[in-house]
Amino acid sequence: MAGPVPASGWPPQSVRLLSETLSEASSLRVFSLNGALGLSTGDLAFFFMNVLQCRSLRILQLSDIPLDQLSPKQLAQVLAFTPESAGLESISFINAHLSGEHLISVVHFLRSWPRLRRINFHGNIFGHDQILALVALLESAPSITDVDLTNCHLDDHAVRLLANSLDDNTSIRRLVLSANPIGVRGAARLSTMLRRNSTLEALDLSGIRMDPTSMDALAQALDVNLTLRTLLLPIDP
């Protein structure tokens, strides 16, 4: 198991050596890299590709790594090098500068990891097309049970699309939507989802806007919902 590795300030040759070593590691289960690498586009692609080659890796967390430095095509090519036997169960792209086609490329490729259970896109930007790609992923990957979309610029429209897919979802157990510009309509739609969903166990709505009407709708949903165990709400509705 490895702890967080602060990469800022590392010489490129050291990062290359680390990534080559990781690609051949046979016992590594957890790898967390925090901080901008300061690498050229080619070196960043080489590093990311080698990390994904580690067959023993189960949990990968990348924080503040500017993946938009790669073109969408380059990013897709790097992801394609992941071996079919990859055992990744949890992956986090925290503040990875993902949006637009970059984010769609990543979301699409996550379908190829059959053991994936937890995805974290904290701090990236989901628009209409990106949320549709995520919805398609969740519908096609029943192994995914935990989704973190903290501070992903989700508005009422995005939440409606997501909630539509979760009404009948039977795999998602935990959903984090904190710190998003979700309005009262989005909050109301989430309440409706809670009335219909029968598997969600944890929902984080901290840092979103809720008025008395949406709070009432949420209370009514909780009367019906039989599975939710954890609910986080904003302090200031």
Residues 84-99 have pLDDT tens digits of 657 889 999 999 999 9
Gap between the Cα atoms of 199 and 20, Å rounded: 41
Angle, in degrees to the nearest 10, between helices 212-224 and 184-196: 10
Two structure tokens written together for 136: 């398609």
Please report, as a single letter, which amino acid is at residue 160. R
Structural domains in the chain, sorted by start: 26-35+57-232 (3.80.10.10)
What's the DSSP call for residue 155?
-
Q: What is the mean pLDDT of residues 162-166?
A: 97
Provide the percentage of residues in the chain whose pLDDT is more than 90: 60
Alpha-helical segments (H) within the chain: 12-23, 41-52, 72-80, 100-109, 128-140, 156-166, 184-196, 212-224
- Asked whether the predicted pLDDT for residue 42 surpasses 90, the reply is no
Does residue 180 carry a pLDDT above 90? yes
In this predicted structure, what is the pLDDT of residue 36?
63
What count of residues does the chain have? 237
pLDDT for position 211: 86
